[in-house]
Amino acid sequence: MNTRQAIKGKALVTGASTGIGAIYADRLAKRGHDLILVARNADQLGALAAQISESTGRSVEVVVADLSRREQLLKVENILRTDANISMLVNNAGSSKNRPFAESTADELEEMIALNVVALTRLSLAAVKGFMKHGSGILVNIGSGVILMPEVANEVYGGSKAFALNFTRNIAAQLEPHGIQVQVVLPGAVMTEAWARSGTDVNLVPEGAMMTAGDLVDASLTALDQKEVVTFPSLQDVSGWVAMEDARAALIPQIFQGKPATRYA
């Protein structure tokens, strides 16, 4: 089946006003989707919607919402539950703070979890319930390559992106028999406004290691067409990831044993 023909309808993109989300919106409109764009900044969202609608002729709806706030999250959930024309959800909205754990506030960490974990989970569920009725649909969750370096990344941000990976892989296996495609995208360093918002010095990134948001989205959509579940857009040689997965699988029977390891005797 041709993927480009199968994914028409409306695509709802969160965190859509700038960066990765804005590029997804542009590319999906060019692929033939009408759009529902969700973000907090009404002015940026409106300007993007007008530009995309003018350049592509697609219908673009705007929903101003802060998904870390429950009542606003529920508003977007309801759209996913009730609009039968939605065929794709891109969970791109996310938050990061570059501050040591002991110097953080409980409220800012909770807000990060609310956006990166709770909103992603609830919106995924709302979308999937609709997809199940039609026997088709696409769910894309944006994770991060920081899952591979938990000692370095912000502890809550890295943990939330590890959740996105494990969550997505699990439901991908559940939903494939129902005609629903699921993908998690794990970027490395990407040039977006998120660096400034998180308080991270972009100059710390090694020269040549930063990808543009356009290249990231284009690679990720190609991977989606190829039916990838886990996508590292900048990973040239996948053998390292395959070896890591093989090693993980080999550990499973060793962990599920009824006696302590001899080193603990």
Known catalytic residues are 157, 161
| Whole-Å CA distances, 253 to 169, 226, 240, 244, 250 | 20, 31, 22, 16, 7
Q: Residue 124 in contact with residue 171, Cβ under 8 Å?
A: yes
E strand intervals along 125-178:
137-142
Residues 6+ apart with CB under 8 A from 212: 190, 191
Q: Residue 158 in contact with residue 115, Cβ under 8 Å?
A: no
Dihedral-angle region of residue 77 (phi above 0 means left; psi in -120 to 50 means alpha; beta otherwise): alpha
Cβ neighbour number for residue 257 with a 10 Å cutoff? 8
**What values do phi and psi take at 38, rounded to 5?**
-120, 130
Helix or strand (DSSP H, E) at 252: helix 239-255
DSSP, collapsed to helix, strand or coil, labels residue 103 as helix
E strand intervals along 31-185:
33-39, 60-64, 86-91, 137-142, 180-185
